[in-house]
Amino acid sequence: MLKISFRRNFCALLFIAAALPVPAFCAVAAPEPRSYHTLTTGNGHGFQLYDETSGRRFAFMDHPYRYLRAPKDLATDGPESRNLLEDFALGMAKDGSTDWFSAAEPGAAGYAEETNIIKTALRSGGNRADIYYFSPFGLERNAMIALARMPAGAAGAARFKFNLGASAPNDLMRLAFKVSPVPGQRLQKLGEAWVQTGNGGGALIYLPLADNAALKCAVSGSSAPVPAGAISGETVCAGDEVSGEFALAAKEGWFGLLIAYVDEPAEVPAALDSLRGWLAGRGQQAILKDSLAEWAAWRKPPRVRFRSEDEAKVWRQNEAVLRMAQVREPNIRREGVLRVNNGMILASLMPGCWATGWVRDGSYATAALARMGHWKEAKASLDFFLNAEPVGKFKSYASFSDYRISLTRYYGSGEEEADHSGWPQPNIEFDDWGLFLWAAGQYVAASGDTAWLSEPARKGTVYVQGENGYRTVGVSDGTRKGTVYEALRDGVARPLEENLEPYPLPRILQRDSSIWEVHGNARHYAFSNINAIRGLLDFAALAKKAGKAADAEKYERLAKEIRAGFESSFAAEDGLLGALERSKATDTDGAVIEALGMGVLSEPKGRLAMSTLAKMEKLKTAAGGYKRNGGDDPYDFNEWVFMDLRAASALYRLEQPKKADYFVESVTRRAAANFGLIAELYNVVAKDGPIGAYTGSIPMAGYGSGVYIMALLDRDGLLNPVGH
């Protein structure tokens, strides 16, 4: 900061003197334009979304993940979580004359102190109100707080229309947040709160944050009565749809409302008790102050030396994204349906379309959390992977191995999903298993928690594929069997071993879908083998820490055999191939950069490493970084932030910091212009918008926040430990 201040002051003096030529370093780069305008808040139980451009809250999701559970037809994606929000706005009147619902203009928006607390403002005439929306951590509920600090003499109000409707299917690549109304909604008064129930299921609780609130409600239609439920309060409105407007009393210049969702109306009384207990009679200003303090207490001191204020803010915001990406719902069994998702990390926050629990993305996020010092969250993620069930559904694609970690991703229920997405064949991704072992190794290396390896691990339901679908061959009774170490060995390391090509073929993995998820077009992919080597080396290190010398020797030897097979099979004159089965897309594949970033080559700075690095230049885009491969799909030729940041980590390991710095600085600059959030892709096609504009799924967690944080750690020499 001193250097920046000196430069600005020195340049200012030159300008004043007007007698000296202005040196080049005085030039100030044009600010990066903002290309993304949505802010997300969430606390692991749901997401609420705000659009800066319109000043509207446009989504209140009933769950944080996209797909709730498995469908009957596994080639489809399954029922999706619901957006319950049609309209919500805070408003106020000053001197009884100004209706801020219609007259006020929204101000600029952002995150307060790089948290999940969305801060914006409303202006009307000479009046201004500061507005805050957030889903509080420490309250284990799907809830949103809406607060306003208003000018003197103003009275507060909140206008709302929610619909407990049906699940609305979306386009695979885009969440539209459509509300699918189900006729039959009811508002009831229950003490100081109001409760909305409907024929679509669930219940909403509206709890004003000061005394003497009043509600005016309106209905449309009355043809669909709501069945009587567990709510015994007075019915104040009932019809096909209901909406309302609260008059909210101010307290010390603030007013506000808490809105919470529960899955079952019968849960409302207990939920209300927990909400009252969390509020503990606090005023709105105290709630905001305490929530900011909770964030400050949760953070870990950064282990890196930031090079700019923007970099520090982007780090902190992506620390917050990783926290928001982790599911905190309790594991439950309700009416015979099991949900075991606590600790699952989503690939993206909503509105990103990849709000799903991928193993690959979750592993990168877990490693980043561990290396930052957020060991509780990293361990919860690893335990989710071990506890999730049912798994093993796709054994016929994996040599009938008794595997424990999904071959692709998970539904919100914790059940394994192999991502058909309309294709006849599922994705089978052996890279997931190696990445999980790597993430487990990162956690133990960072935390020193070798005791975790001796903790009990849970046995999930096991399925196999038959002619008529799936048949159960073992059903979990909720008990635990074996230790974490045994689960890592028998459910991950051993299945990797069992899915190698047989002798006399090279010791490489069988064909799979790998990182770019090619469904039925399976090949021998470099990325899967890179992570098998990395994961088995890390498992061997864990075996040593667990006192299992024979296992350590066996799996270190196996990792080296795979490395030898990989280097002999995938090496070409110009560097590593992405797959043995040649194609335009795989001959030049950015995923091979992980051979350098993960440190798996026998000569980390040898000819093969250097030629592979040079080959990456073929993937440069108009936005300045790397596309993922040589394919022709927009997903192939737009720039991938993941590729840029993993290339940066590889370059730091290879002691080429200037080249690495370019990628870190580029991502930092763009993120700083976009609320600190990181996109999946940068646009490189002029007809689709500005070059470098955010596109794809936004914001990304493992592929964005996780790899950004690790790149900064790698820059400062805090490299993730690797072994040979």
For the CA atoms of 78, 79, 81, 83, what is the dihedral angle to 10 degrees?
A: 130
DSSP string, 614-680: HHGGGGB-TTSSBBSBS-SSHHHHSEEHHHHHHHHHHHHHTT-HHHHHHHHHHHHHHHHHTTT---S
Q: Contact at 8 Å (CB) between 103 and 90?
A: no
Is the model's pLDDT at 513 over the cut of 70? Answer: yes
Percent of the chain having pLDDT more than 70? 90
3-class DSSP state for residue 391? Answer: strand
Rounded CA-CA distance 12/22 in Å is 10
Q: Which residues contact 504 (CB under 8 A, 6 or more apart)?
A: none
Give me the pLDDT at residue 602, please: 97
Mean pLDDT confidence for 670-677? 98
The residues that bridge with 333 in the sheet, in sequence order, are 338
Rounded CA-CA distance 239/538 in Å is 60
* Residue 123 placed within a domain: yes
Give 127's pLDDT tier (boundaries 50, 70, 90): confident
Q: Contact at 8 Å (CB) between 135 and 117?
A: no
Give me the pLDDT at residue 326, please: 98
Is the model's pLDDT at 457 over the cut of 90? Answer: no
Residues 333 and 188 in one domain: no
* Residue 81 placed within a domain: no
Percent of the chain having pLDDT more than 90? 77
Domain boundary among 266, 297, 328: 297
Strands 694-695 and 681-682: antiparallel
CATH number at residue 286: 2.70.98.10
Rounded CA-CA distance 676/131 in Å is 20
Q: Which residues contact 502 (CB under 8 A, 6 or more apart)?
A: none
DSSP string, 183-229: S-EEEEEETTEEEEEETTS-EEEEEESSSS-EEEEEEE--SSPPPP-
Give me the pLDDT at residue 221, please: 87
Give me the pLDDT at residue 721, please: 64
Task: Return the half-sphere exposure (C-beta side, CA atoms, 13 A cut-off) of residue 696.
Answer: 27
Give me the pLDDT at residue 94, please: 66
Residues 258 and 320 in one domain: no
**Which position has the token pair 């999940």?**
116
Q: Contact at 8 Å (CB) between 341 and 412?
A: yes
pLDDT tens digits, one per residue of 44-91: 999 999 999 999 999 999 999 999 999 988 888 889 999 999 999 998
| Domain tally, the chain | 3
- The winner for highest mean pLDDT among 16-30, 156-170, 364-378 is 364-378
DSSP conformation class of 515: T
Give 724's pLDDT tier (boundaries 50, 70, 90): low
pLDDT: which is higher, 126 or 380 = 380
* Residue 65 placed within a domain: no
**Which position has the token pair 């020193």?**
448
* Residue 49 placed within a domain: no
* CB-count burial class (<10 Å; 0-12, 13-18, 19+) for 62: buried
Residues 560 and 592 in one domain: yes
Cα 352 vs. chain centroid, distance in angstroms?
9
Mean pLDDT confidence for 561-565? 98
Is the model's pLDDT at 96 over the cut of 70? Answer: no
Q: Contact at 8 Å (CB) between 110 and 39?
A: yes
Residues 252 and 392 in one domain: no
3-class DSSP state for residue 553? Answer: helix
Rounded CA-CA distance 460/404 in Å is 8
Residues 398 and 257 in one domain: no
Residues 490 and 638 in one domain: yes
Residues 573 and 648 in one domain: yes
Give 431's pLDDT tier (boundaries 50, 70, 90): very high
- CB burial of 371-398 (b: ≥16 within 10 Å; e: otherwise) equals bbbbbebbbbbbbbbbbbbbbbbbbebb
Residues 241 and 191 in one domain: yes
Residue 75's alpha-carbon distances to 296, 350, 404, 468, 552, in angstroms, are: 44, 23, 22, 14, 40
Q: Contact at 8 Å (CB) between 168 and 80?
A: yes
Is the model's pLDDT at 95 over the cut of 70? Answer: no
pLDDT: which is higher, 723 or 603 = 603
Give me the pLDDT at residue 465, please: 41
pLDDT tens digits, one per residue of 521-539: 899 999 999 999 999 999 9
Cα 526 vs. chain centroid, distance in angstroms?
26
Give me the pLDDT at residue 346, please: 98
Residues 324 and 288 in one domain: no
Q: Sheet harboring 639-640: ordered strands across? A: 639-640, 681-682, 694-695
Give 673's pLDDT tier (boundaries 50, 70, 90): very high
Residue 318 sits in which domain range? 309-715
3-class DSSP state for residue 250? Answer: coil
Give me the pLDDT at residue 154, please: 79
Mean pLDDT of the chain: 90
Give me the pLDDT at residue 469, please: 40
Task: Return the half-sphere exposure (C-beta side, CA atoms, 13 A cut-off) of residue 543.
Answer: 23
Is the model's pLDDT at 599 over the cut of 70? Answer: yes
3-class DSSP state for residue 61? Answer: strand
Rounded CA-CA distance 523/569 in Å is 13
Domain boundary among 269, 297, 325: 297
Give me the pLDDT at residue 634, please: 87
Give 275's pLDDT tier (boundaries 50, 70, 90): very high
Query: Which one-letter amino acid corresponds to residue 60?
Result: F
The residues that bridge with 205 in the sheet, in sequence order, are 195, 260
Percentages helix, strand, coil for the chain, rounded to the nearest 5? Answer: 35, 25, 40
* Residue 235 placed within a domain: yes
Residues 470 and 493 in one domain: yes
Other Cβ atoms within 10 Å of 169 Cβ, number: 14
Give the per-residue SS3 of 573-611: CCEECCECCCCHHHHCEHHHHHHHHCCCCCCCCCHHHHH
Rounded CA-CA distance 56/351 in Å is 14
Domain boundary among 275, 297, 319: 297
Q: Which long-range contacts (CB under 8 A, 24 or more apart) does 174-179 make?
A: 174/353, 175/66, 175/350, 175/351, 175/352, 175/353, 175/355, 177/49, 177/58, 177/59, 177/83, 177/351, 178/83, 179/82, 179/83, 179/84, 179/85, 179/86
Mean pLDDT confidence for 372-376? 98
Query: Residue 451 — φ and ψ, nearest 5°?
Result: -65, -25
For the CA atoms of 419, 423, 424, 427, what is the dihedral angle to 10 degrees?
A: -40
Is the model's pLDDT at 479 over the cut of 70? Answer: no
Q: What is the greatest pairwise CA distance in the chain? A: 87
CATH number at residue 513: 1.50.10.10
433 sits in which H/E element = helix 431-447
The helix-helix angle for 431-447 and 359-372 (nearest 10°) equals 10
> What value does the CA radius of gyration of the chain take, rounded to a whole number of Å?
27
* Residue 45 placed within a domain: no
Residues 591 and 673 in one domain: yes
Is the model's pLDDT at 628 over the cut of 80? Answer: yes
3-class DSSP state for residue 371? Answer: helix
pLDDT tens digits, one per residue of 686-712: 999 999 999 999 999 999 999 999 999
Give me the pLDDT at residue 421, please: 80
Give me the pLDDT at residue 150, please: 86
pLDDT tens digits, one per residue of 194-234: 999 999 999 999 999 988 899 999 999 877 777 766 677 88
* Residue 59 placed within a domain: no
Q: Which residues contact 221 (CB under 8 A, 6 or more apart)?
A: 183, 239, 240, 241
Mean pLDDT confidence for 299-305? 96
Cα 412 vs. chain centroid, distance in angstroms?
13
Residues 253 and 358 in one domain: no
Mean pLDDT confidence for 472-489? 67
Query: Residue 409 — φ and ψ, nearest 5°?
Result: -160, -170
* Residue 177 placed within a domain: no
